[in-house]
Amino acid sequence: MAQLENIDIRDILPHRFPMLLVDRIVEIGEGSIVGIKNVTANEPFFQGHFPEYPVMPGVLIIEAMAQVGGILVLRELEDRKTKLVLFAAIEEAKFRRPVLPGDVLRMELKTLKRKATIVKMQGTATVDGNVVAEAVVMCKVVDLPAKGEAPKE
């Protein structure tokens, strides 16, 4: 199984700090991927969510899962530098436990369906083997727009 370090991830995903939420890919298989996010106390979102009891926002956990899935999708495209992966849907999102500073968030995604430009994946996020979140995420691959333009379907 292949692994990717942060520099490899930045070569695949267009996200950058503070929105790059994947630190490492530890497994990539046929239609599946496992990524890691090391959650640290200095994450910018902890300044306001919540200063006295820092909790990683659920929407960012889902975003981190989607980024891991985006790596799986983009890695398989030869022309990935000309493509963008956008959220199309989030279904069945459930949050089981809070994610706190110091946690290592492990995100596992498996492809459920894949059509020409649409991919549907089941995602599970765990900390120390305990499920913290799960969701079905769907993304759409679009052509990378020119600077200043909106993505086109």
Mind telling me the catalytic residues?
49
Give the tokens for residue 99: 């994610």
Residues 51 and 39 sit within 8 Å (Cβ to Cβ): no
Residues 79 and 13 sit within 8 Å (Cβ to Cβ): no
Number of H helices, E strands in the chain: 2, 6
CA distance 150 to 137: 22
Question: In the sheet that 118-127 helps form, which strands lie side by side, from edge to edge?
Answer: 24-29, 32-38, 104-114, 118-127, 130-143, 83-95
Q: Is 107 helix (H, G, I), strand (E, B) or coil?
A: strand
> Phi then psi for 59, rounded to 5 degrees?
-65, -30
